[in-house]
Structure 1
Amino acid sequence: MKPERDPHKESEADNVSSAEAQVIPLHGPGREKPRDTVEVPAEKLAEADETERLLQAPVVNFPAPAAAPVRQPDVSELPEALAEAIAFVRSRLTGSYTVDEFGFDAELTETLMLPPLRALYQKWFRVTTYGVHNLPVDGGALLVSNHSGTLPIDALMTAVAVHDEHPKHRHMRGLGADLVFKVPFIGSFARRIGQTLACNADAERLLSKGELVGVWPEGFKGIGKPFSARYKLQRFGRGGFVSAALRTGVPIIPVSVVGAEEIYPKIGDVKVLARMLGLPYFPITPLFPLFGPLGAIPLPTKWTIEFGEPIQTDSYYPGAEEDPMLVFNLTDQVRESIQQTLYRRLSQRQGIFRG
């Protein structure tokens, strides 16, 4: 059975619900604005509208500026030394270089060999050269020189003197001992810089082609002599170089080198080590082997190289090279010319290191 409704309570509930349902407008008339409301200035609104307009504007893509063309370096504008190095590397990589029938590579010699030797020639030994006018401008000649210094540095300095002091910068083709060409690396490199075997056949072929050929008749007897025998020429052998000059009709030019005797003063020789290593001698100097690798640095003596007056051979009768007496006399004449020049230069020298 349902309970009866109280009319008085129903009227009170209706009044409460009607009060809760009443809606009051926020900005109605007679009501204040909320305290947290901020008024935006008109200028700010205008800026916001302008920003929105710009953002909605179509984007225009302008073409990118053309890249400047990359300029390739011109070899002719580079420094001379760098240009020569680039040309040398290029020729090595492409194989566009030539060697003669003896293996001589003129480009390699001038690029790799001569620069360090030239530094020794000019700065270390301070070489002074005399008689360059006696070297022929063209054609062959046989240059006969004394030999000394324990190591054949005098031959290399003479080659630099011929190339740098000659008006046409000619190359001297040296005749080396068999031992030089038996060493694997040294032998092939020696041929590349113009050396060849010290035999009459090679000498005559070079002289016939108009080359300047250098020969050191003393051989190991000269280069390996003790310091006590300095500037005393050893025996010149059988005069094979004279026969080559007579057969080809080229002049013989005596060459005298002063200063090389003192770069490695040889005061002893270890013959046992020399035989074990296959060398003609194993030198002992005041600095080597006591100071190890430092002892192998040559002393900075002052050098002079003199090219003597040519001895002509083209006026002799045919077959003169077969006359042993003539060959002997010419050999002795060349030897005596070199010895007298050495004595003269030594008498004028103020000191080993001052020249």
Structure 2
Amino acid sequence: MADSSQAKVIPLHGSPSADGAGSQGTDSGSTGDADRSASLGDGLIEAAGALAQGLAARTLGDDWRRKVAGGLEFARRRLTGEYEVDDLGFDPDLTENVLLAILRPLYENWFRVEVRGLDNIPAVGGALLVANHSGTLPVDGLMTHVAVHDHHPAHRHIRMLGADLVFRTPVISELARKGGTTLACNEDAERLLSAGELVAVFPEGYKGLGKPFSERYKLQRFGRGGFVAAALRTGVPIVPCSIVGAEETYPLLGNVEPLARLLGVPYLPITPTFPWLGPLGLVPLPSKWIISFGEPISTDSYDAEAAEDPMLVFDLTDQVRETIQHTLYALLLDRPDAF
């Protein structure tokens, strides 16, 4: 009589066999299916990884790993407060990693900016960049900042001097401060120049930005020459900067003056696309840009009292203006087509 304590094991799948062959065959088949499933799963994971890497490379470029790592490091610094802001509000960490990164596609792919004469900008120490202003919106200052930071060997930041309206506009004022812009007054300009900063001024102001398209590339008055006085007091060189291309980004065809006065803005533009296309009218036209930096005009041979000489200030102001104007004409001849 068989021992009832030893129960017979009946396989759940397959036929029972006295020698266990059926059981062994089933185990072998199950192992093979599991191996194939594992292999398929690994293949899907590898394919998904390759797809993700390909999308990242297309979106961020071939060095996407470095960009992702840089983005994570930037987020860590912002969360832990390991970044610096100067007493005028400039945040170089945010400017380099966010603001300039947003502007770079416009600079490289939309306006296709060509920059010349970067060797005329000193690698260290204070200097005053004086540029023409145009284009309805102040995009030219932003593109100049990208040009100097990305292509000058010293990768210097530009500290722009902005009008009062910039700092009265919500959101824009905060971004402008963090991007290095400060109020266009002699006190701030001299403070930055004395600290060895690269300062940019656009003496035409709104007269240059808001001039009709029919007057494109014709410089407006440069004011009283306050920028020259600031350079004389601090002994820094003046670097003329000529910008071609900004005039065609938003060609100004008209100005709704009554509504502009009501809103408290210097002008309310009418362009070929605005206001007809609504928000799409704010997209700039893809004009071809050239930014050229001329030979520096030295001021260190004058003493600080020279800034109080109105004739000297006038002569230097006129010299800078004429240099920029003649360079603009030359650049226009060198640029075969506006677009």
**TM-score category, normalised to shorter length:** 0.7 to 0.9
Segments ≥4 residues shifted beyond 6 Å = none
Q: 1:88 aligns with which of 57, 69, 74?
A: 74
**Does 2:282 match 1:296?**
yes
Partner of 2:20 in structure 1? Answer: none
Match of 1:51 in 2: 7
Q: Percent identity?
A: 64
**Residue 85 of structure 2 corresponds to which residue in structure 1?**
99
CA distance in 2, matches of 1:246, 1:101: 24
Answer yes or no: is 1:206 the counterpart of 2:192: yes
User: Do residues 285 (structure 1) and 241 (structure 2) align?
Assistant: no
State the distance in 2 between where 1:259 and 1:240 align: 27
| Aligned partner of residue 165 in structure 2, secondary structure | helix
Select the residue among 105, 108, 115 that pairs with 2:101: 115
Q: Does 1:163 align with 2:149?
A: yes
Q: CA RMSD in A?
A: 1.7
Q: How far apart are the structure 1 equivalents of 2:179 and 2:158?
A: 10
Superposed, 1:21-36 pairs within 5 Å as: none
Q: SS in structure 1 opposite 2:312?
A: helix
Q: What CA distance in whole angstroms lies between the structure 2 residues aligned with 1:51 and 1:212?
A: 92
Q: How many residues align?
A: 286
Unmatched segments (≥5 aa) in structure 2: 10-62
Q: In the alignment, which residue of structure 2 is the partner of 1:236?
A: 222
Q: 1:342 aligns with which of 324, 328, 331?
A: 328
The Cα shift of 1:52 comes to 7.0
Distance in 1 (CA, whole Å) between partners of 2:91 and 2:282 is 28
2:240 is matched with which residue? Answer: 254
With the length of structure 1 as denominator, give the TM-score of the two structures: 0.78
SS in structure 1 opposite 2:161? strand
Aligned residue for 1:302, secondary structure, equals coil
Q: What per-residue deviation string (whole Å, max 9, x for no partner) do you get for residues 79-117 of structure 1?
A: 221122212222222222210011100000011101111
Residue 33 of structure 1 corresponds to none
Of the candidates 120, 125, 128, which is equivalent to residue 142 of structure 1?
128
Q: What is the DSSP-based 3-state SS (H/G/I as helix, E as strand, rest coil) of the residue aligned with 2:130?
A: strand
For 1:297-336, list aligned pairs within 5 A.
297-336=283-322
- Deviation, structure 1 residue 49: 5.4
Which residue identity lines up with residue 7 of structure 2 in the other structure?
T
1:78 Cα deviation from its structure 2 partner = 8.5
Which residue does the alignment assign to 2:174?
188
Cα-to-partner distance string for 1:278-301 (whole Å, 9 max, x where unaligned) = 110000011110111111110000
Structure showing greater Rg: 1
Shift of 1:224: 0.5
Paired position in structure 2 for 1:8: none
The C-alpha deviation readout for 1:250-288, integer Å capped at 9, x for no partner, is 000000000000111111000111112111000001111
**Secondary structure of 1:175's match?**
strand
Distance of 1:167 and 1:254 partners within structure 2 = 19
Per the TM alignment, residue 324 of structure 1 is displaced from its structure 2 partner at its CA by: 0.3
Give distance in 1, aligned partners of 2:304 and 2:295: 24
Matched, 1:130 2:86: no
Counterpart residue number, 1:62: none
Q: Do the aligned partners of residues 347 and 322 (structure 1) sit closer, same or farther apart at CA in structure 2, a change above 3 Å counting?
A: same
- Tell me if structure 1 keeps the 8 A contact 2:120–2:296: yes
1:51 to partner: Cα distance: 3.4
Give the match's secondary structure for 1:89: helix
Cα 1:170/1:291, change in 2 over 3 Å: same
Deviations 1:59-84 (A, max 9, x none): xxxxxxxxxxxxxxxxxx99221122
Q: Partners of 1:318 and 1:89 in 2: how far apart? A: 45
Mapped partners of 1:93, 1:227: distance in 2: 46
Q: Secondary structure at the match of 2:221?
A: coil
Secondary structure of the residue aligned to 1:264 is: coil
Moved more, 96-105 or 151-160: 96-105
Q: Helix, strand or coil: the match of 1:184?
A: coil
Partner Cα distance (1:235, 1:87) in 2: 46
**Contact 2:135/2:250 (8 A) holds in 1:** yes
For residues 111-153 of structure 1, the C-alpha deviation after alignment (integer angstroms, 9 at most, x for no partner) is 1101111110000000000000001011010000000000000
The answer to whether the 8 A contact 2:234-2:304 is kept is: no
- Find out whether 1:175 has 2:131 as its counterpart: no
Relative to 1, partners in 2 of residues 1:93 and 1:182: Cα closer, same or farther, differing over 3 Å? Answer: same
Which residue in 1 is equivalent to 2:56?
Answer: none
The aligned residue for residue 39 of structure 1 is none
